[in-house]
């Protein structure tokens, strides 16, 4: 008998590998969870050219990888991956199955959970093992993020969850790491009813919000596109990136790619300056990992102040021009 794969599984979403860190972040967290329940972490690597990623996952903490390589798996397709992973789950019976809440994860995991007739929590902001029951406790935002719900899956297996990028920390790359490798049998079912006609990369400029050390965010309170542009200048002066809340995007002041929050990106910059944002949790869910949060808002009772390190009660219209002038002098 050889080793069995560890029973905390992480789906390896390796597209845009060097920008998309969510799988690595999940492996980091999965190691802690696995330790609590006396098992290891297995990362699923499915695709056509995956060898490099299998090695990278081991380097970042995977105890084992389960690999399926085949030209028919070259594209991420929900039906094909659902059929394949469901087979593996039924064969090996993992306790926990996690994935990043990427666009693919959010369309693939629910279908997989339904096929397996098990529970799934979405966009978790925390995971831990209950010391008594040994169940996975899944903390997810509810009510637009106004509340946090702690959810368990008491009787169904595996316990599944998707996790928002930026919530957990990845372990550093360790070239001395080793891990088990399994090549289970693979059943490939192509989805005949769906065809991808073409694909267009959508990146207007190189927007590297998730990597920026400084992020400046604009919300409804800025009032106008002109004010938002001042914010863009602020970001430039501080060598940072610009983010936005949904109202600012709806108003047409900037593009969808800059959206932060539950339906957008999560960022963990060293410094985040949030201007004209009230602090609705749909938004703040995406910024809680920031090192220092500075908020500027007219309303002293705005919820954003509950999560900031420095709260500046003032009107962006008056504050920004003076701030920009002072910064231009110094930089």
Residues between 123 and 162 with contacts to another protein, criterion CB under 8 A: 123, 137-138, 140-156
| Shortest distance, position 46 Cβ to another protein, whole Å | 15
Interface with another protein, residue 196, by CB under 8 A: yes
Q: Which of residues 225-284 bind another protein (CB under 8 A)?
A: 238, 246, 249-250, 256, 262-263, 270-271, 281-282
Interface with another protein, residue 331, by CB under 8 A: yes
Identify whether the C-beta of residue 224 lies closer than 8 Å to the C-beta of residue 250: no
- Whole-number Cα distances in Å, 38 to 11, 59, 226, 279, 289: 20, 21, 56, 40, 29
Interface with another protein, residue 219, by CB under 8 A: no
d(C-alpha 37, C-alpha 79), whole Å: 31
| Shortest distance, position 140 Cβ to another protein, whole Å | 7
d(C-alpha 45, C-alpha 111), whole Å: 19
Q: How many positions of this chain bind another protein (CB under 8 A)?
A: 118
Interface with another protein, residue 169, by CB under 8 A: no
Stretch that binds another protein, among 24-32, 88-96, 189-197, 216-224 (CB under 8 A): 189-197
d(C-alpha 252, C-alpha 235), whole Å: 19
DSSP string, 33-102: HHHHTT--EEEEEEESS-HHHHHHHHHTT-SEEEEEE-GGGSS--HHHHHHHHHHHHHHH--SEEEEE-S
Interface with another protein, residue 223, by CB under 8 A: no
Interface with another protein, residue 48, by CB under 8 A: no
The site map against another protein for 11-30 (x = CB under 8 A) is: ----xx-xxx----------
CA angle 126, 162, 201 (to 5 degrees): 125
Interface with another protein, residue 104, by CB under 8 A: yes
């Amino acid at each position: 008998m050889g080793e069995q794969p560890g029973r905390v599984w992480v789906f390896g979403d390796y597209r845009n590998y060097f920008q998309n860190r969510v799988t690595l972040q999940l492996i980091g967290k999965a190691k802690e969870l696995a330790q609590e329940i006396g098992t290891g972490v297995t990362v699923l690597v499915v695709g056509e050219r995956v060898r490099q990623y299998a090695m990278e996952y081991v380097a970042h903490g995977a105890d084992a990888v389960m690999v399926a390589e085949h030209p028919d798996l070259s594209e991420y397709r929900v039906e094909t991956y659902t059929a394949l992973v469901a087979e593996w789950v039924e064969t090996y019976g993992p306790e926990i199955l996690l994935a990043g809440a990427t666009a693919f994860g959010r369309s693939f995991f629910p279908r997989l959970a339904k096929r397996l007739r098990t529970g799934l929590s979405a966009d978790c902001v925390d995971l831990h093992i209950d010391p008594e029951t040994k169940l996975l406790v899944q903390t997810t935002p509810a009510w637009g993020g106004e509340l946090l719900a702690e959810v368990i899956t008491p009787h169904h297996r595996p316990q599944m969850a998707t996790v928002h990028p930026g919530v957990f920390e990845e372990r550093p790359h360790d070239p001395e790491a080793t891990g088990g490798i399994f090549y289970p049998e693979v059943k490939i079912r192509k989805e005949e009813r769906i065809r991808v006609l073409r694909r267009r990369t959508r990146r207007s400029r190189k927007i590297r919000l998730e990597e920026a050390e400084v992020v400046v965010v604009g919300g409804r309170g800025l009032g106008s596109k002109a004010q938002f542009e001042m914010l863009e200048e602020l970001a430039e002066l501080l060598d940072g990136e610009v983010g936005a809340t949904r109202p600012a995007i709806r108003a047409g002041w900037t593009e969808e790619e800059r959206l932060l929050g539950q339906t957008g990106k999560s960022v963990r910059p060293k410094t985040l300056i949030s201007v004209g944002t009230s602090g609705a949790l749909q938004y703040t869910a995406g910024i809680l990992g920031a090192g220092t949060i500075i908020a500027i808002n007219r309303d002293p009772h705005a919820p954003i102040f509950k999560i900031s390190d420095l709260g500046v009660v003032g009107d962006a219209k008056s504050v920004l021009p003076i701030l920009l002038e002072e910064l231009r002098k110094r930089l």
